[in-house]
Amino acid sequence: MELQGWTPHGFDSFFSMTVGIYISSTLYLVSAGAWKRYRRQRLEKSVLRPAFFSGMIYGVACLSYLISMARLPYVVAYAYGVGGGLLVSQLWGTLFFGEAATPYNRRCVVCSFCIIILGVVLLAFSA
């Protein structure tokens, strides 16, 4: 590719990846809506907003991950990308969805949260 005068960059795949995800999810939603209409059932309108916003959050997260991979050393960016994603999903599950209901489960979540943060920090400083 460099012989033809084109230098590949990390952001080249971002547009095609997000467009592919949005087109496939839209086709899935249209086919599910057609199936519901065929079965004479109503498609809930509240399905559209959460799917749209979660897709936007996913797109921003992928773009942020690509920017961190371009600017930071690989070990640090990978640790923040993977460990940070795990921490965010754990926070969503615990705080928003209430998955850790008992005090014992909450202590386990806090302990695993601290261990994940320690692992990310140690991996980042090892570079």
Q: Which residues contact 29 (CB under 8 A, 6 or more apart)?
A: 47, 48, 51
pLDDT, average across residues 100-125: 88
Q: Fill in the DSSP letter of residue 127.
A: -
Domain ranges of the chain: 1-71, 73-127
Average pLDDT taken over every residue of the chain: 81
pTM of the complete model beyond 0.85? no
77-110 pLDDT per residue, tens:
888 888 888 888 888 888 888 888 899 999 999 9
Total residue count of the chain as it appears in this document: 127
Q: Fill in the DSSP letter of residue 3.
A: T
Q: Is the pLDDT assigned to residue 10 strictly greater than 80?
A: no
